[in-house]
């Protein structure tokens, strides 16, 4: 239970941020404020899709080339 900042009664309150300040406001007090604010503020935008380019595998030299003898790599 939290004390509502508007009516002063101990109720379950929601934390609302208004103009950079945080307030604990119960649902009954928030309803008229929410109706006044409806339609104001910034419109919600759909997030733009982000396209990630496909990665291409690095071109590596094949282990051997046709027509040439294979390279033998050994450690002593």
Q: Distance between CA 55 and CA 57 in Å, rounded?
A: 6
Predicted TM-score (pTM) above 0.85: no
Q: How confident is the model at residue 74 (pLDDT cuts 50, 70, 90)?
A: confident
pLDDT at 20 over 70: yes
Q: How far apart are the C-alpha atoms of 74 and 76, rounded to whole Å?
A: 7
Task: Transcribe 22-64 into DSSP letters.
Answer: EEEEEHHHHHHHHHHHTT-SPPP-PPPP-PPPPPPPPP---SS
Backbone angles phi, psi at 56, to 5 degrees: -100, 140
């Amino acid at each position: 239970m939290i004390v509502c900042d508007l009516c002063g009664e101990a109720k379950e309150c929601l934390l609302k941020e208004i103009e950079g300040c945080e307030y604990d406001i119960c649902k009954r007090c928030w309803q008229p404020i929410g109706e006044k604010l409806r339609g104001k503020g910034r419109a919600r935008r759909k997030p733009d899709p982000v396209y990630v380019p496909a990665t291409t595998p690095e071109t590596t030299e094949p282990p051997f080339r046709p027509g040439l003898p294979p390279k033998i790599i050994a450690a002593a």
